[in-house]
Amino acid sequence: MNVASLNFPKWRGYLELMRPANIVTAWADILVGFAASGSGIILAQLINGQTSLASLTTLGWLLLATTGLYGGGIVFNDVFDAELDKKERPTRPIPSGRVSRQNATVLGSILFAIGILAASQVSYLSAAIAIFITFACLLYDSLAKHHPFFGPLNMGLCRGSNLLLGVSAVPAIVWERWYLALIPILYIAAITAISQGEVHGGKKITGVIAVLLIAIVLTAVLALGFLGEYTAIAALPFATLLAVRVLPDFVKAAREPAPETIRNAVKVGVLSLIILDATVAAGFAGLYYGLLVLILLPISMSFAKIFAVT
C-alpha cells in the first residue's frame, strides 16, 4: 500500500476529535488506580525481573478501555456541539467539513464499544464501571455541560470513575478505596467550572471557586497520609510541582477572566492531571512509581503541541 494513499490530512481530523493529549491523561488515572489497588507492586517486580509481562495483561486491558471511553466521550462532545462550533470554533473537524457528523458519531460509538469490551476482559465490575462512564460522558456531552453546577460535577464523575476503573484491577478494593474518586471529581470540577468562560470570558467568582477547589485537592492528596498504606512524604514533591504548575494560571484566570487567560488555565489544568495522578500514585506505590506516571506528562505535552486540548 502506498503510504501517501492513507491521506494523513483526512485522518488528522479524526485524531483531532479524539484529543490524543487528553487521552494520555486518562492513562494516568488508570495507573494511579492500579497503584491504589495494590497492583503497583507488579511493576516494581517487573523492573527487578521478578515477574513476567503476562502479569501486566490486566493493566493493558484497562489502558485500552480508558482509551476507548475517553476518546468516545471527547468525540461525542464535538458531535453534540457541532452547530455551536460552527459559530464559535469553525476550525474544528466537524464544522470545517474535514469530518462529517455522521462519521464522528460512528467513531465515537466504536470507541465506547472498545472501552466496554476491554473492561469486560478484567471483571464484571470493570465492565459496569465502563458502562457507567459511557452514560456519564453522553449525559455531560448532551445536557449537563451547559449547567453551571451539574456540568462540572458530571465531568468530575467521569474522571473519578476512570480512576476507580484502574482500582478495579482488584475488584474487591474498589469498595475500600471509593473515596479516591473524590479527588479527581473536585479537580475536574475546578477545571470545568473555569472553562465555561473560555469563549466569551468568565466571572471572577467562578475563578475564585476554582482556585479554592484546587487548594482543597492539594490538601487532600497530602491528607491521605493519615491512611496506613499511603506515604505522604513520597507524594510531597509531586504535590509541590502540581501547585507550582497550576495555581499561578488559575489565580491569573480568576483575576482576569478573559478568554485567553481562561484557555491557558484550562490547558495547564488538563495536562497537570498527570501530575495529580503521579502525586497520589507515589503515595501508594512509592517515588519511582510516581515518576513512571509523571513520564506521561512530556508525552501529553508533545501531543498538545500538535492537537487541541480544549
Choose the most confident range, by mean pLDDT, from 67-71, 143-147, 288-292. Answer: 67-71
CA-CA distances (angstroms) from residue 86 to 19, 156, 230, 268? 19, 27, 48, 26
pLDDT at 202: 61
pLDDT at 198: 53
Q: What does the mean pLDDT of the chain come to?
A: 87
Averaged pLDDT, 191-202: 66
What three-state secondary structure class fits 75? helix
Closest to 193 in 3D by CA, of 175, 214, 207: 207
Rounded to the nearest 10 degrees, how much is the dihedral formed by the CA atoms of 122, 26, 187, 76?
-100
Please give the share of the chain, as a percent, with pLDDT higher than 70: 89
Tens digit of each residue's pLDDT (9 = 90 or more) over 181-192: 999 898 888 887
pLDDT at 253: 83
pLDDT at 63: 97
- CATH assignment of 19-304, among 3.40.50.300, 3.60.110.10, 2.60.40.10, 1.10.357.140: 1.10.357.140
Longest dimension (CA), the chain: 59
pLDDT category at 51 given cuts 50, 70, 90 is low
Q: Using alpha carbons only, what angle is made at residue 164 by residues 160 and 168, rounded to the nearest 5 degrees?
A: 170
pLDDT at 201: 55
Choose the most confident range, by mean pLDDT, from 76-80, 213-217, 306-310. Answer: 76-80
pLDDT category at 142 given cuts 50, 70, 90 is very high
Neighbouring C-beta atoms of residue 118, cutoff 10 Å: 22
pLDDT category at 308 given cuts 50, 70, 90 is confident
Please give the share of the chain, as a percent, with pLDDT higher than 90: 56
User: Is the separation of the CB atoms in 33 and 165 below 8 Å?
Assistant: yes
Q: Is residue 40's pLDDT more than 80? A: no
Alpha-carbon span 192 to 197, nearest angstrom: 10
Alpha-carbon span 295 to 224, nearest angstrom: 23
Tens digit of each residue's pLDDT (9 = 90 or more) over 63-116: 999 999 999 999 999 999 988 888 888 888 999 889 999 999 999 999 999 999
C-alpha cell at 94: 466537524
Q: Is residue 41's pLDDT more than 70? A: no
CA-CA distances (angstroms) from residue 23 to 65, 70, 117? 11, 6, 18
Alpha-carbon span 242 to 167, nearest angstrom: 23
Averaged pLDDT, 145-156: 85
pLDDT category at 1 given cuts 50, 70, 90 is very low
Q: Is residue 49's pLDDT more than 90? A: no
Averaged pLDDT, 264-279: 90
pLDDT category at 296 given cuts 50, 70, 90 is very high
pLDDT category at 281 given cuts 50, 70, 90 is very high
Q: Is residue 3's pLDDT more than 50? A: no
CA-CA distances (angstroms) from residue 78 to 20, 100, 153, 256? 14, 11, 20, 28
Q: Is 195 exposed, middle or buried (CB count within 10 Å of its CB: 0-12, 13-18, 19+)? A: buried
Residues contacting 182, CB < 8 A, separation 6+: 160, 220
Averaged pLDDT, 279-288: 92
Averaged pLDDT, 130-150: 92
Residues contacting 4, CB < 8 A, separation 6+: none
